[in-house]
Structure 1
Amino acid sequence: MKRKWLAISFLLSTLFFIASCGITQELDESLAVSKELNVVIGQQEAILKDLLKTVEKIEPSFEKDIDAKPKTGLFKEQEGDLYKNFNKRKDLLDELVAGQKELKKYQKEIKRISSKEAIDVDNDKLKLISSSLKIIENNYDSLILYMETGFEQEELLYENLPVDNLSEQGSIINRTYGSVTMVAEESISNMEYTLNLSKNFQKQASTTKK
């Protein structure tokens, strides 16, 4: 009987040890992912803030180039403040598309870790981070669509100047970039919220690991 209890105790100890190793691995994974995510969010915030500054300069750049009374459309000579502004926004869009892919990757990774329900990981906090990242993902879908639409509208106008309905076309472009600004600001707000969630999780997970 004594041998039987010893065998059971040994088995339970072994199972506990194996489970503990798995839990520690998940805790380590969640910490590593949250740290990496913080860096990516910071980078994306910087890109969005740069985008907002560039969008603010569209109208003054346009007016400056128009005042120079170009004989052809603004883009045909591939020069001027507006042309530089346009291409900078194109580059920023490429960075946003790449950034969205990164955020999707972390969202899936966090979701995977939380699905394991490790007992020493705050899975509720991980799920909140995952949900918040999904919102940012959706923000990016809207932002990318608005920017692509804006580029089409701008090229149509800039390459065919002068036009009789400049005011109407300009108004449409302004509305499009008004939407870009609104979604970019919302994205930044959601990123700051997500970053706080991630930092709080990281702080708690680091304490748990000690």
Structure 2
Amino acid sequence: MATKVEKKNTIRKLIIESAKSYSEKLAGKTFLYVYGDEYFEILFKTDKFKHLTGVDSKISAVQFYKYAKESKLTTSQFGFSKDHPYSNALKKLTYLARLHELTDSLVCVLKDMNTVTVTYKIGLTNLDFTLCLVNDTSYSDHNWFLPMSLRIKDKAIENSRGGEFVDFIFVKEAAAEKYGKVLFSDSEKSLPDSVLNMLSDDLFKKL
């Protein structure tokens, strides 16, 4: 059985790997998901990373992410507790570095996904893991969703009101006005008129 020191070293390594993946592929980017005639946007904020790891930490979410991304996070800066057990953190962190897979491949959009404590309006799953989303209330002129909880093999579809496979996924830098790159598309589907003005002219010509 692993010692406490070995457990914390393992978790530290996984946190750092996940932070680097989050930084390179998700942080500061907005993703547009289109399914049927509906769509929504996700903004991957850096201060949401800490909660996704499943560990307990007294330092701020901003500091936690910064230290992890720079490989400066120490084992004294996080721990485990009744609400943040080692087993749960290990399970989450095994998949957190793969979170980007929900942005560039076929995923199922879940509606009204129920957990023991919360019902999430929207979720994304590839069946291996599920990202639960909440509305961003800090911007009055945007209706972004934010990552809130990472759940592993949790019967997400059965626990939701229903699911639909995504037709298109687009990405842009959060500060950019329009989406300029497509990450996933179903060649048999067409874009609804409601999202056309959200795409750059160059991208629209390629679709």
With the length of structure 1 as denominator, give the TM-score of the two structures: 0.24
- Rg larger in 1 or in 2? 1
Relative to total residues, which structure has the larger helix share, 1 or 2? 1
Relative to total residues, which structure has the larger strand share, 1 or 2? 2
With the length of structure 2 as denominator, give the TM-score of the two structures: 0.24
